[in-house]
Structure 1
Amino acid sequence: MKYERYDHTAVEKKWQNRWEQAGVFHAAQSMDKPKFYALIEFPYPSGQGLHVGHPRPYTALDIVARKRRLQGYNVLYPIGWDAFGLPTENYAIKNHIHPAIVTKKNVERFKQQIQSLGISFDWSREINTTDPAYYKWTQWIFLQLFKHGLAYKKEMSVNWCTSCKCVLANEEVVDGVCERCGSEVVHKVKSQWMLKITEYAQRLIDDLDLVDYPERVKAQQKNWIGRSTGAEVDFGTTVGDQLTVFTTRPDTLYGVTYMVMSPEHPLIEKWSGQIQNLDEVHAYQQEAAKKSEFERTELAKEKTGVRLKGVCAVNPVGGKEIPIFISDYVLVSYGTGAIMAVPGHDSRDWEFAKKFDLPIIEVVQGGNVEEQAFTDCATGTMVNSGILNGLSVEEAKVRIKEYMQEKGFGREKVNYKLRDWVFSRQRYWGEPIPIVQCEKCGYVALPESELPLRLPEVESYEPTDNGESPLAHMTEWVNTACPCCGGPAKRETDTMPQWAGSSWYFLRYIDPHNTEALADRGAMDYWLPVDWYNGGMEHTTLHLLYSRFWHKFLYDIGVVPTAEPYAKRTSHGMILGENGEKMSKSRGNVVNPDDVVREFGADTLRLYEMFIGDFEKAAPWSTTSVKGCRRFVERYWNLQNLLIDGAGIRPEMESVFHKTIKKVGEDVENLKFNTAIAALMALMNEISGNGSITRDELKVFTLLLNPFAPHVTEEVWAEQDFEGMVCQQAWPVYDEAKCVDALVEVVVQVNGKVRARVSVPADTSKEGLLELAKDQEKIQAEISGKTIVKEISVPGKLVNIVVR
């Protein structure tokens, strides 16, 4: 039979249906095999559908998962939908469609697109964060946090859009205006639910030693948590109150020439009677309220501030009065909301001091502080520092801490940049918070038996004029009885953020239909931790940190068996448009995977996305290269035209086959998919050069290619009447001894110039190689009658004989 052009349109849907009907990718309930739990960050089903960047991580872990199944593992590779969130709510508001309807349509679209790619997800475990059966357990986890004192309400400053009448996240504020409507954004104080992630700050750092994460991921988490060791120092003031700061360099106290407070610092209001320029202070506070935290802390921005006239601080190590400023680069939410400024040894403080004509004192000898030519502040000798003069920096740190504690104006302190997690959203499309507020009992948890607290139907999804959630309009739903005393109470109308459902979803995949617990403990004992988790670098300091926090809490209360949720984490680079820019509708460079699958097939798309370059780096899309991958699929299909009688791998093909088995297997484990495919292409060339292939050789090639191109390999397997499906076979095993070339070509040089080439056994020793080289007629002619000065012999590569 002559095989012609491969028709992917007739093949791919057929095999996708057969796989699902047979349940070949469903994780087994039995626990008698070694397990492998592969996880992707589950997608947010937006109305725009997939672009070709989305399948890259799905395909990568699919290749690993398929290989593991062939190696005899019980594989869990699940999929679900992170479906609550702001984009869907905004779309619903704009188009007057209920968010649930929008979500349903978006999920259907995403599911169809993903299934067309042949990803071996276990669809029997599909979950959706908007399903009450799912968010029942999100609410249950919140109640446990509340009962353990890790969920609390707090008055805090938030971003407020004056037009949308709602609270915005920091990333939704751009240049002081609302990203959505362009209206002015101000800061307002609102009562918010908070989660005490700071209680876990040190463990979140320490336990990074337990996991296999890239160093850049670990570094980002540590930097975000921001552990610093130093001291809290109490400065007196001329109005009697203490102004406390946190500093990592208490040894530079003698160099403090001014102090800076956050514009929101509560002492400013307390001092309003003593501040002589209160109108100027209030005006600055209003301007600061329009800026996001990112804008306020940007290092390159011009320093601004207002001096508090009428109030001064008192330096505790000299008693000297120093001015106090407010400036927007100091945040009330970090440290104590106030800093001591040492302009002689800090660039930011120096710039501020120069602008406001403030003193600059050198306290670590060396450099020129007036010209910002600082000495290394971490070394050197202390000067102009009273009791610290003549000490090294390290000695001064010890001495000043002793002195502070002795005099009672300071104490050692470990501080973290990490702040507690703002958990409230004044939105409709999110999980209801299962708390009621009773005038008599305060905040009271809903009984667990009443979960899930379902999201009620509302006519309007728009925020209220005062910034409350749309749920605040639902008086029948809001008004309820206190579970504690039975008196009148009101339900919490804020909803949870999108991060809530994604903080524990990997646990629900383990046992998605359980109605009695978030997952069966025995199943968690078997499946946890997740063996391999792949996700974007952009989620390193939010989702990844939040989910580790939730998991540690669940571990502490005995719900889960491991301290860390993910044993291994990898990250992928994005796929850019053909113009090298990030794909977006506005740039007009979005490539729809549906179009690629329709024209070239899913296997071609899968191969190209893995062949495009280093998996961990960004790479531009290339339609020309897509066509090259399609040609490879065609060449594989046409191997059937080269079939000959004969079993096993022929002796002349053994080395290349065994080397390819080794190479592909190792490269998959190291995310080197591009070089694995290159090895398969090289093997294809060897087969084509030979002009034939045996049935057993075709089986091996098919098994190696299957994780990358599952549809065409299944079709070839079936065409040749091989037993079962490819995905149910065993991964090929290589023989290390056969991975060594039988013969290698060695270059023979005289005085560095190539004079001969010789084929020798690959395991020829240095001495043997040198003897063989000297036996060559051309070499004998070159060295005859001359003195050999040096002999270099590199097995498998070259011989160089130096003569004179």
Structure 2
Amino acid sequence: MALGKYDPERIENKWQDEWNSSRCFEVEVDPSRPKYYVLEMFPYPSGKIHMGHVRNYSIADVVARYKRMRGFNVLHPMGWDAFGLPAENAAIKNKSHPAQWTYGNIAEMRAQLKRLGYSYDWRRELATCRPEYYKWEQLFFLKFLEKGLVYRKNSPVNWCGSCQTVLANEQVEDGRCWRCDSEVEQKQLEQWFLRITAYADELLDDLKMLEGGWPERVLTMQRNWIGRSVGAQVKFQVKGMDEVVEVFTTRPDTLCGATFMSLAAEHPLVEKLIAGSPEAEKVRAFCRDVANMDRIKRGADDLEKEGVFTGAYCINPLTGREMPIHVANFVLMGYGTGAVMAVPAHDQRDFEFARKYDLPMRVVIQPKGETLNPAAMTAAYADPGILVNSGEFDGLENEKAKETIVARLAERNLAKPTVNYRLRDWNISRQRFWGAPIPVVYCEKCGIVGVPPEDLPVRLPEDAVMRTDGKSPLPFMDSFAQASCPKCGGPARRETDTMDTFVESSWYFLRYTSARLDTAPFDAAALKYWAPVDQYIGGIEHAILHLLYARFFTKILRDEGYPVSDEPFAHLLTQGMVLKDGAKMSKSKGNVVDPNAMIGRYGADATRLFILFASPPEKDLEWSDAGIEGAYRFLGRIWRLVEELEGALVAVKPCAPVEGELSPRAKDLRRKEHDTVRRVTRDIENAFQFNTAVAALMELVNELYAAKDELRTRPEGPRVLSSAVATTLALLSPVAPHLCEELWQVLGHATHLSEEPWPLHDEAALARDEVEVVVQVNGKVRGRAKLATDASEEEVRSVALGLENVAKHLEGKEIAKIVLIPGKLVSIVAR
């Protein structure tokens, strides 16, 4: 055949051109075929793909190609999460428009993805910064505004001075901006919110639908973030003031044990409580420090508990005792009411705080048969028990006491049953230019007025000049900011905030189903056919950001009448990171591996093969130069195998039937071929274990090399060898598609390998004429015997007992029992 040297660049360019010209990965709705929608979280167009991208997209591409070969109508699209701060910052630096930077990066990254041979339907490509995309997002906003799911209010917000914008709570990490790592401060601003809390119960309850399809870790993170708690709202009168502190508690049974009150640093009562008191400046300083702490860190169990006394007291509504009011760093304004009744004997955080500041502790729940001494306790007692020191409620089991105490306080209008959530409404206002404009105007006469749907999209101005101070230019552009009121026709001012970029990524997966439709956001028939996404792939870092928002958006759109399911992603795979020298790749660490360099040196197939073989997809992967070199050598070995079998191979399908008598070597190769099909299919189908699938293929290639010289001279040899080679190429093609397509063509096939059906193993080909049976004596291996597969039990026993080493270990002993596992084991128990 004289194939010549394996040349990845030539082969890969050839097949990428062929796939493009034949449009073989483009799909349409086809109700006669089962659909499969596989999707990776789309990238931000930063200018270059990194190895994390390569891993994510290679995993998805194997799934897409495999499912096509299994007969599914596969939707596998790609697009760009194109709005955001990096484009704006780059435009400021380069004195250009963000669109110029963004579209240039998209072109570069698109070329890189095509060079890797991913099987995308590029007709469906979208970029969220295009008006034809965000037009529909603006329409959704207006619909949500009509229904009260969007609202505007003055609120304390996380403000990044460097990025000059508000951040959602989820975008603040350790008190710093998730984008630029600058310290975040608290600021009061009028902001737009999406009422995600209206769906809190459904978002929580529907996680049950995803069990088995999503990683349990992600489900747990979402359950904790939503944080539903059933309890009571209780009122505490402030001593000497006409003010009430309201608390939410899940433990009203411990109310008689409440000995002090803890407030969040942001609580609106703090200033009233400290006004004119000697503690005022100390409390204000403490509040400033705490308010700028990371919200998640403040709620962590291992946080060092700190606080300051306000000088004020409140009254316990059940006991009438005075309770000192403190400000504490572990109390969050965003959870409950921002106030906590402190019961140090029965809550560990309160226990630690009380011990640190020498505050009183009162036991009100006793375990049955025990007496707790507050002075001797080393930790809070939070388990069930019987009420003590609780007046008329003494002797009640604590669960029963919860209802009784709340009912008693409710008679005096001091408590009511309440369900509380950790989840807060989603702040979507961003004071930046490069985002989707919020489609409302402010009219002095009419107030807030939505832009009429027929006037959408509200476009970002193409002539905007980025400001060197980092502020958005929109408020300073009269051509954009000045508008007419759609209601009265009078002068109005356009909203100059733009939407959080997570809004765009909350529905893009649905737009792919009809990405070029210009009369509606979705074609109903296409949406009904393709949704939901069958397999979604992306990073764990999006567990309580994008994944929660996408679930929320899907439910809103369902309630707007779009034919979508209750959940957007049936299955989720969160792939591990790509590491180098034990650390995540980053420029600052100097350990970045450039995909372009790897593709240039080893080819796309070898890069894909290594990154899929080196680790199971859900685990972190340690980059290895030797590993990718090994992947390249393995592909070269397959190339040489086909070349060395010149004249002995014929164009047969995988697992081709073979007539006539087979030699032992032919039977062994055929058995290995069918066993490999079984193993690879199982590993991909059940758990995407591509690493073990590739390992099985390497074993098959080894068997081909061992058998080729003998079999090429036998009558059945060419067909047996050809079948095994064809099977190798078919099974490997989702991982290394270019090489496999080329060799498939070399074998004489006129079809594309990607259009061939997936091989199916034949159980009959797996049968063995002889099996090796292990023989144990008292649990230790003492011999092995070759036996016919249809040997009787008596024959098996006779052969096993006749083995020399077995007989030796039975000398002087009496056989108590012989256990047979057909085809595998003879276990002899002797005394």
TM-score range, shorter chain: over 0.9
Matched letter for residue 510 of structure 2: L
SS at match of 1:79: coil
Aligned residue number for residue 422 of structure 1:
427
Deviation at 1:346, TM superposition (A): 2.1
Which of 667, 681, 699 lines up with 2:683 in the alignment? 667
* Aligned counterparts of 1:615 and 1:763: Cα–Cα separation in 2: 41
Aligned residue number for residue 625 of structure 1:
627
Deviation at 1:529, TM superposition (A): 1.1
* Aligned counterparts of 1:612 and 1:127: Cα–Cα separation in 2: 32
Given that 1:258 and 1:340 are in contact with CA atoms closer than 8 Å, whether structure 2 keeps it comes out as yes
Given that 1:165 and 1:463 are in contact with CA atoms closer than 8 Å, whether structure 2 keeps it comes out as no
What 5-or-longer segments of structure 1 have no aligned partner?
A: none
Q: Is 2:619 the counterpart of 1:586?
A: no
Choose 349-358 or 229-238, whichever is displaced more.
349-358
Aligned residue number for residue 224 of structure 2:
223
Which of 572, 576, 579 lines up with 1:573 in the alignment? 576
Aligned residue number for residue 762 of structure 2:
735
Deviation at 1:792, TM superposition (A): 2.6
Deviation at 1:715, TM superposition (A): 0.7
Choose 340-349 or 534-543, whichever is displaced more.
340-349
Deviations 1:279-314 (A, max 9, x none): 3333333333443424544444443333222x3211
Deviation at 1:198, TM superposition (A): 0.6
Q: Is 2:683 the counterpart of 1:683?
A: no
* Aligned counterparts of 1:781 and 1:287: Cα–Cα separation in 2: 80
Q: Is 2:68 the counterpart of 1:51?
A: no
Matched letter for residue 32 of structure 1: S
Aligned residue number for residue 486 of structure 2:
483
Aligned residue number for residue 11 of structure 1:
11
Deviation at 1:656, TM superposition (A): 1.4
Matched letter for residue 407 of structure 2: E
Deviation at 1:756, TM superposition (A): 3.1
SS at match of 2:230: strand
Kindly tell me: are residues 781 and 255 of structure 1, through their superposed partners in 2, closer, same or farther at Cα, counting changes over 3 Å? Answer: closer
Kindly tell me: are residues 679 and 764 of structure 1, through their superposed partners in 2, closer, same or farther at Cα, counting changes over 3 Å? Answer: farther
Deviation at 1:492, TM superposition (A): 0.7
Deviation at 1:142, TM superposition (A): 1.4
* Aligned counterparts of 1:51 and 1:292: Cα–Cα separation in 2: 29
* Aligned counterparts of 1:740 and 1:612: Cα–Cα separation in 2: 32
* Aligned counterparts of 2:649 and 2:278: Cα–Cα separation in 1: 100
Deviation at 1:19, TM superposition (A): 0.2
Deviation at 1:409, TM superposition (A): 1.4
Deviations 1:178-210 (A, max 9, x none): 788887653220011100001111101111222
Kindly tell me: are residues 767 and 444 of structure 1, through their superposed partners in 2, closer, same or farther at Cα, counting changes over 3 Å? Answer: farther
Deviations 1:118-147 (A, max 9, x none): 111111110000111111111111112111
Deviations 1:431-485 (A, max 9, x none): 00001112222211111111111011354434879x7x43111122111111122
Given that 2:264 and 2:329 are in contact with CA atoms closer than 8 Å, whether structure 1 keeps it comes out as yes
Q: Residues 411-490 of structure 1 correspond to what in structure 2 (within 5 A)? A: 411-457=416-462, 459-462=464-467, 469-490=472-493
Choose 114-123 or 367-376, whichever is displaced more.
367-376
Deviation at 1:413, TM superposition (A): 1.2
Aligned residue number for residue 500 of structure 1:
503
Kindly tell me: are residues 613 and 164 of structure 1, through their superposed partners in 2, closer, same or farther at Cα, counting changes over 3 Å? Answer: closer
SS at match of 1:191: strand
Kindly tell me: are residues 323 and 52 of structure 1, through their superposed partners in 2, closer, same or farther at Cα, counting changes over 3 Å? Answer: same
Aligned residue number for residue 561 of structure 1:
564
Kindly tell me: are residues 389 and 740 of structure 1, through their superposed partners in 2, closer, same or farther at Cα, counting changes over 3 Å? Answer: farther
Given that 2:345 and 2:380 are in contact with CA atoms closer than 8 Å, whether structure 1 keeps it comes out as no
SS at match of 1:194: strand
* Aligned counterparts of 2:476 and 2:598: Cα–Cα separation in 1: 47
Aligned residue number for residue 244 of structure 1:
246
Matched letter for residue 480 of structure 2: W
Deviations 1:563-584 (A, max 9, x none): 111111111111101x111100
Given that 2:164 and 2:432 are in contact with CA atoms closer than 8 Å, whether structure 1 keeps it comes out as no
SS at match of 1:499: helix
Matched letter for residue 50 of structure 2: H
* Aligned counterparts of 1:781 and 1:711: Cα–Cα separation in 2: 58
TM-score, normalised by the number of residues in structure 1: 0.94
* Aligned counterparts of 1:178 and 1:78: Cα–Cα separation in 2: 31
Aligned residue number for residue 99 of structure 1:
98
Kindly tell me: are residues 458 and 2 of structure 1, through their superposed partners in 2, closer, same or farther at Cα, counting changes over 3 Å? Answer: closer
Q: Residues 34-183 of structure 1 correspond to what in structure 2 (within 5 A)? A: 34-47=34-47, 49-161=48-160, 166-168=165-167
* Aligned counterparts of 1:755 and 1:347: Cα–Cα separation in 2: 59
Kindly tell me: are residues 566 and 410 of structure 1, through their superposed partners in 2, closer, same or farther at Cα, counting changes over 3 Å? Answer: same
Aligned residue number for residue 796 of structure 1:
823
* Aligned counterparts of 1:255 and 1:540: Cα–Cα separation in 2: 38
* Aligned counterparts of 1:489 and 1:199: Cα–Cα separation in 2: 31
- The count of aligned residue pairs is 799
* Aligned counterparts of 1:356 and 1:778: Cα–Cα separation in 2: 76
Deviation at 1:503, TM superposition (A): 0.5
* Aligned counterparts of 2:552 and 2:178: Cα–Cα separation in 1: 30
Q: Is 2:525 the counterpart of 1:514?
A: no
Kindly tell me: are residues 206 and 164 of structure 1, through their superposed partners in 2, closer, same or farther at Cα, counting changes over 3 Å? Answer: closer
Deviation at 1:155, TM superposition (A): 0.8
* Aligned counterparts of 1:668 and 1:709: Cα–Cα separation in 2: 15
Given that 1:378 and 1:393 are in contact with CA atoms closer than 8 Å, whether structure 2 keeps it comes out as no
Deviation at 1:241, TM superposition (A): 2.1
What is the aligned-residue RMSD (CA, Å)?
2.5
Q: Residues 699-738 of structure 1 correspond to what in structure 2 (within 5 A)? A: 699-738=726-765
* Aligned counterparts of 1:493 and 1:133: Cα–Cα separation in 2: 20
Deviation at 1:31, TM superposition (A): 3.3
Given that 1:113 and 1:594 are in contact with CA atoms closer than 8 Å, whether structure 2 keeps it comes out as yes
Q: Is 2:266 the counterpart of 1:268?
A: no
Given that 1:551 and 1:563 are in contact with CA atoms closer than 8 Å, whether structure 2 keeps it comes out as yes
Q: Is 2:643 the counterpart of 1:634?
A: no
Matched letter for residue 228 of structure 1: S
Percent of counterpart pairs with the same letter?
Answer: 45
Choose 715-724 or 328-337, whichever is displaced more.
328-337
Aligned residue number for residue 530 of structure 1:
533
Kindly tell me: are residues 182 and 658 of structure 1, through their superposed partners in 2, closer, same or farther at Cα, counting changes over 3 Å? Answer: closer
Which of 288, 291, 295 lines up with 2:290 in the alignment? 288
Given that 1:649 and 1:697 are in contact with CA atoms closer than 8 Å, whether structure 2 keeps it comes out as no
* Aligned counterparts of 1:151 and 1:626: Cα–Cα separation in 2: 51
Deviation at 1:350, TM superposition (A): 2.0
Kindly tell me: are residues 430 and 772 of structure 1, through their superposed partners in 2, closer, same or farther at Cα, counting changes over 3 Å? Answer: same
* Aligned counterparts of 2:180 and 2:382: Cα–Cα separation in 1: 46
Given that 1:345 and 1:369 are in contact with CA atoms closer than 8 Å, whether structure 2 keeps it comes out as no
Given that 1:765 and 1:795 are in contact with CA atoms closer than 8 Å, whether structure 2 keeps it comes out as no
Aligned residue number for residue 348 of structure 2:
347
Choose 565-574 or 648-657, whichever is displaced more.
648-657
Aligned residue number for residue 207 of structure 2:
208
Kindly tell me: are residues 367 and 708 of structure 1, through their superposed partners in 2, closer, same or farther at Cα, counting changes over 3 Å? Answer: farther
* Aligned counterparts of 2:307 and 2:604: Cα–Cα separation in 1: 59
Given that 1:437 and 1:491 are in contact with CA atoms closer than 8 Å, whether structure 2 keeps it comes out as yes
Deviation at 1:626, TM superposition (A): 1.0
Deviations 1:38-62 (A, max 9, x none): 0110011113x12222111211111
Deviations 1:582-641 (A, max 9, x none): 100011100011111111111111111110112101021011111111111011112212
What 5-or-longer segments of structure 2 have no aligned partner?
A: 712-719
Choose 191-200 or 693-702, whichever is displaced more.
693-702
SS at match of 1:213: coil
